[in-house]
Amino acid sequence: KAGVTQTPRYLIKTRGQQVTLSCSPISGHRSVSWYQQTPGQGLQFLFEYFSETQRNKGNFPGRFSGRQFSNSRSEMNVSTLELGDSALYLCASSLAGQNGYTFGSGTRLTVV
C-alpha cells in the first residue's frame, strides 16, 4: 500500500508570505501528526489530528495551524513566514492514534 505522501517536496518562500503543506496518510490511518525538523532543534511536535479534530498541540506560535479533512488528508499552514521557519516539515500517520508512526519524506521549506 502507498505510504505517507507529502507535497510539495521542496518550497521556497519569502518572509511575510504564507504557505500550505499537504499530507496524505496511509489508507485507513486516521491520525496525522506534524513535526518540524531543524538542525538546531531536532524533531519538534507541532500538532496531531484525529477525525478532523486537533487532539494535541506542541509549543509553536499561532502562525502555525492545521486541519484535517474527512478523508484524513491533512494540511498545515504557516502564516507570516520568518527565516527561522526554514525546516523540514514531516507528517506522520497512524491507525487511530496508536503508537508507531509512519513518516512521509517531508517538505523542505526554505524562507528567504
Partner 1 sequence: GESVGLHLPTLSVQEGDNSIINCAYSNSASDYFIWYKQESGKGPQFIIDIRSNMDKRQGQRVTVLLNKTVKHLSLQIAATQPGDSAVYFCAENIEGNNNDMRFGAGTRLTVKP
Residues that bind partner 1 (CB under 8 A): 4, 31, 33, 35, 42-45, 48, 50, 55-56, 58, 90, 92, 94, 97-106
State the amino acid at position 77 in one-letter form. Answer: N
- What minimum distance in Å lies between the beta carbon of 65 and partner 1? 18
What are the φ/ψ torsions at residue 99 (nearest 5 degrees)? -75, 155
Spell out the residues 6+ positions from residue 45 whose beta carbon is closer than 8 angstroms to its own.
33, 34, 35, 56, 58
CA distance 84 to 109: 10
Query: Measured from the CB atom, is 15 or 57 closer to partner 1?
Result: 57
Query: Measured from the CB atom, is 96 or 112 closer to partner 1?
Result: 96
- What minimum distance in Å lies between the beta carbon of 96 and partner 1? 10
Query: Measured from the CB atom, is 16 or 28 closer to partner 1?
Result: 28
CA distance 57 to 46: 6
- What minimum distance in Å lies between the beta carbon of 17 and partner 1? 25
